[in-house]
Amino acid sequence: MQLQQSSTFEMMEREEFEEIVFFHDSSTGLKAIVAIHDTTLGPALGGTRMWSYRSELDALRDVMRLAKAMTYKAAAAGLSFGGGKGVIIGDPKRDKSEVLLRSYGRYVQSLGGRFITAEDVGTTLEDMRVLMSETRHVAGTSIDPSPFTAYGVYCGIKACLEYVFGDESLDGVHVAVQGVGKVGGELVRLLLESGARVTVTDVDASRVRRFIELGASYVEPGKIYSVQCDVFSPCALGGVLNDSTVKRLRCSIVAGAANNQLESESVAERLSNLGILYAPDYIINAGGLIAVAKEYECARRGREPSTEEIMRDVERIRDRLEEVFRMSESSMGEEMVITTSRAAEMLARRRIEEARRLKGIYLPD
């Protein structure tokens, strides 16, 4: 599908994008897009995913959606990075090769440090090490961000419990976890160790066996929304919360690791009307990004961060969630209620605008 230049620029203007770059290398078969949304706070940081998109337009929409979310995630996490994302169009199992990755790495290097990338869906830590043979603008090559993402969600769930029930203890709390991959599985382990009752599901049934052995119960994927629980934790695909699934929820809190959990902002309003507390995804799942950013910043200073140092930074997710909840609560009774989703966006935008005003101050060389 061909992209019309005018439509691309209209999309960029509507979503406030700075730069979108298309890369093509016929000798390696590379077709890639890097989207840089906002660099007010610093260079754009975001993973590169490899996916077999149905069309070039689908790839463009996806990379723009993900890059914009990275801007808000980095800003809300208090990081000195902007938001960006890369996508390589192709089947990672069939089309990925060393020369293709190295070609992509050279193009990333050509951006001069405006975009720093890391692993994502369809790419691996080893792929990032291949990129490093062509560019120094790669992060997360010495740590696995997944455990830090899970730990951030774990801390966030405790903040939600404190806000809703006045007690952060997980002992006896029932959590329904959708998706037990690297992040969801680690979250389940942390929850079980804390005394929680956990119900799990996954489209890959083989993944759930070890968690059942650890004490979790299992339901089929389609039944997870209807589980009577305290916390529903989506940790798989995005867009799972829509008008159809929300009306089936039997929980007090939604707090999980999946990206872009809400199909639309109207779903956040629906959750609020139902009295269900929603922990905005890019606030609660920022642990991996925090870890990758820490590793990159420390590497530039010639040192490695300790696990304890990263964990302390990740634990601040709790403070940011509490601020979001207070912002939302303060609007109760007003004509226009601010959902927690909208409050998270306001928090991120406020930090970006403050930095933008600061950059307007002239500093002599």
Q: Which residues form the catalytic set? A: 85
CA 262 to chain centre: 13
DSSP 364: -
| Residues with Cβ within 8 Å of residue 192, at least 6 apart in sequence | 198, 211, 214, 215, 216
Query: How many DSSP H helices and E strands does the chain contain?
Result: 14, 11
Tell me the C-alpha distance between 255 and 273, whole Å.
Answer: 17
Q: Are strands 82-89 and 253-254 parallel, antiparallel or unpaired?
A: unpaired
Other C-beta atoms lying within 10 Å of the C-beta of residue 299: 16
Other C-beta atoms lying within 10 Å of the C-beta of residue 28: 16
> Got the DSSP string for 199-256?
EEE-SSGGGGHHHHHHT-EE--GGGGGG-B-SEEEE-S-S--BSHHHHTT-B-SEE--
CA terminus-to-terminus distance, the chain: 48
Length of the chain measured in residues: 365
Tell me the C-alpha distance between 294 and 139, whole Å.
Answer: 9
Which tokens in the block code for residue 31?
Answer: 């077709």
- Whether residue 101 contacts residue 91, with contact meaning beta carbons closer than 8 Å, is answered with no
Cα 37 to Cα 13, 112, 299, distances in angstroms: 11, 16, 25
Q: Are strands 253-254 and 30-38 parallel, antiparallel or unpaired?
A: unpaired
* Residue type (1 letter), 290: I
* Residue type (1 letter), 17: F
Which tokens in the block code for residue 40?
Answer: 């007010």
